[in-house]
Structure 1
Amino acid sequence: MTIFELLPSLKAACRPRFDPAVWPPSTCYHLGRIMLDGVAVEDHADCYGTPSVLDGVLVTRVRSVIAGVVRIDGDCARPVDAEIASRHSVAPREFFALGDTKIELPSDVRAGDVLAVIPKT
């Protein structure tokens, strides 16, 4: 449970985690987990493996992070947005190369993390 869930009045002070113009309408954040259509993204990754697709979102694992380049086990040449789904990071955000695009992720992204990636349609 996060401080924002304990004190809902603080939610206005934090950066919104999901841009409603980019993420599917079924996306929510519940008890520290990203949910898509009522399914936790990390549970989907555990059951169906990675890469896989859940509600139009690519579910993948980070293979390596080297010199600002994030390599994943899926193929997503032009991601629009991405978020760590396997844990809640409070690290400052910075830009990483993911595919052919720079994408903003928490600075502590590491190998083994499950990512939810919005591919360009």
Structure 2
Amino acid sequence: LSECAPVEPTDSGQDSDLLGYESVQGREMYRYKYETSDGQFREEVGMLVNVGTPEQELMVMGQYGFKSKDGGTMVMVMYTSGKKGYRARTVTRSARDADLRMKAFLSLLKG
């Protein structure tokens, strides 16, 4: 049995700044990511697989999330999408642990 408690996103009533943005578009793939000063982020990679065959499909994987108002909790939604549909998983972690995992995820995306 597990318990869930809602986590409020950061909302200081002020506009947030864009800390980073990257967008790459290739012939059979794309990748983009952004991060804002209030702790929001999104990263996504899409690629064609089985190109030129009847099984050709676009596969997408990514994550998005935000930091809680107290800054100590990160809420992330990790997802994949392809022939088998859209699958998402929500994870709540300490902000420090989430930062380490995001760096590992980014290193995988960069290949």
**Which of these two proteins has the greater Rg computed from alpha carbons?**
2
TM range (shorter): under 0.3
- Report which structure shows greater RCO (CA 8 Å, sep ≥6): 1
